[in-house]
Amino acid sequence: MPLSELMKILLDYILGKSFNSIRGVNTLEDLPAHYIDKINRLIVEEEKKQSSEFVGGSFKVNYVDDRSYYCSLELYFEKAGQEDPNLTSAQSKNFDLRSLNREAQDELRRLRTIEFEIDPPTSEQRSRLSQNTNFNSNFNSSSGGRSINEIADNYISEINRKILDTESRQGIRFDRGTLFIDFGDERNFSISYDLNYVKDGEREPIRMTSRIPNLNFMDLNREAQDELRRNRTIKFAIDPPSRVSSRRI
């Protein structure tokens, strides 16, 4: 399969093909924020595979009718010696317009299409993506022997970087969050988190969520395996980044 076709499939997957709404997304600004880490990761990987440079792109939220909207994405890559940049694009399925807050619904009805510019990943973002990749691959390795607390501490340190980046990019303030470690079966467990932000002048919190499924259950030490089997879900509070230690709740 050509890389351009694979890229299109991956973008389609990122934009969502099987859900009526996007969990934790309530405002128009939430939409590109929800996708940006995955998009940046694809950009970096594509640059390496194609020996190209990402030169810009756009993320669009498009009105369909009073019940539906969809997202579309365009990414441009440039190769040395090539006159015109290559375009890779993708489009989501229709999402439920009513899952957005009233202000977002009204703005989308009025403007029909709202466009956000996608800039090339900064050096800081590229470094963070590399750290996250290394961290996630550690979960799927066979080194094993980690406790529940060790996993929580490691992952919360990565979440703290995400929180600081989100606060800086969106001008919002992190309020509280929860990390969930969930038992799947004798082979798998998953990690998810729920982050709540506040914005001056707005009463409703901004909620962002993410989940990493299919982590290797055998990477846990025996005590952690037994505890997760018994409790099914173990929760940790996520405090603002100034307090980086994890608290089980």
Residue 215 pLDDT class (50, 70, 90 cuts): confident
Higher pLDDT, 11 or 26: 26
**3-state secondary structure (DSSP) of residue 227:** helix
The predicted pLDDT at position 80 comes to: 82
Instruction: Say if residues 206 and 26 touch (Cβ distance below 8 Å).
Output: yes
pTM for the model stands at 0.50
CA distances from 143 to 59, 146, 216 (A): 39, 9, 10
Higher pLDDT, 145 or 63: 63
The tens digit of pLDDT for each residue in 93-143 reads 788 898 899 999 999 999 999 998 888 888 877 776 665 554 444 434 334
Give me the residue spans of the domains in the chain. 3-121, 130-248
- Rounded distance between C-alpha atoms, residue 86 and residue 47, angstroms: 12
How far, in whole angstroms, is CA 54 from its chain's centroid?
Answer: 20
Instruction: Say if residues 15 and 88 touch (Cβ distance below 8 Å).
Output: no
Beta-ladder partners of 191: 181, 212
